[in-house]
């Protein structure tokens, strides 16, 4: 694929659309777990692909637009705030781990899922004025780690298949 502004814009648009669709699907899927707030992190699959295919700046842009669109469309402003806090911390951690070169896609994904949970709990602690929300961290870390493995494995397959087409983005 030749590197042109139009092709680059189209590819970023595709990534945003896919992330938005994944957010929508995730909102439709009830998880059979007794813990509230546990999610699969399907939109993170697109964030991971963006990180590996277009770099940190592109991944941040795609994630930010997705969080804003999903928040305004189906999650509401308070959930958008929590998603933004979790998403920023998650992507920061994933960028640093990817850059280190010591972690696989799955390892980066698991750490990103954990960081997302920590970011959301930091936001909740700030909003509520209590650190008691961190008592929920072990449950979220366990669920986030499992989801991170699944999302990381899927993202690895997507990245390998799309990389030849995304070259030069």
Using an 8 Å Cβ cutoff, are 147 and 39 in contact?
yes
Write down the mean pLDDT value for the chain.
Answer: 91
| Token couple for 117 | 């949970």
CB count in 10 Å sphere of residue 79: 14
What is the pLDDT at residue 169? 59
Tell me the domain boundaries of the chain. 5-166
The CA-CA-CA angle for residues 38, 103, 37, to 5°, reads 5
Mean pLDDT of 72-84: 91
Class of domain 5-166: mainly alpha
Q: For the chain, give the percent of residues with pLDDT over 90.
A: 75
Give tens-digit pLDDT for 139-154.
999 988 999 999 999 9
Instruction: Say if residue 43's pLDDT is above 60.
Output: yes
Mean pLDDT of 106-118: 96
- Among 161, 155, 166, smallest CA distance to 49 is for 155
Q: For residue 2, what pLDDT band results from cuts at 50, 70 and 90?
A: low
Strands (DSSP E) found in 20-92:
none
Question: What is the CA 154 to chain-centroid distance, rounded?
Answer: 13
Supply the pTM of this predicted model. 0.90
| Token couple for 5 | 């502004």
């Amino acid at each position: 694929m030749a590197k042109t502004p139009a092709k680059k814009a189209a590819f970023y648009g595709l990534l945003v659309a896919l992330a938005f669709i994944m957010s929508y699907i995730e909102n439709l899927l009830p998880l059979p777990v007794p813990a509230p707030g546990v999610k699969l992190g399907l939109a993170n699959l697109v964030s991971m692909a963006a990180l590996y295919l277009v770099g940190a700046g592109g991944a941040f842009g795609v994630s930010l637009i997705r969080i804003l669109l999903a928040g305004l469309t189906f999650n509401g402003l308070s959930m958008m705030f929590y998603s933004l806090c979790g998403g920023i911390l998650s992507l920061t951690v994933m960028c640093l781990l990817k850059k280190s070169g010591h972690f696989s896609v799955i390892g980066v994904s698991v750490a990103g899922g954990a960081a997302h949970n920590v970011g959301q709990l930091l936001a909740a602690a700030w909003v509520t004025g209590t650190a008691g929300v961190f008592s929920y961290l072990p449950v979220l870390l366990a669920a986030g780690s499992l989801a991170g493995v699944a999302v990381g494995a899927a993202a690895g397959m997507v990245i390998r298949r799309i990389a030849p087409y995304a070259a030069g983005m």
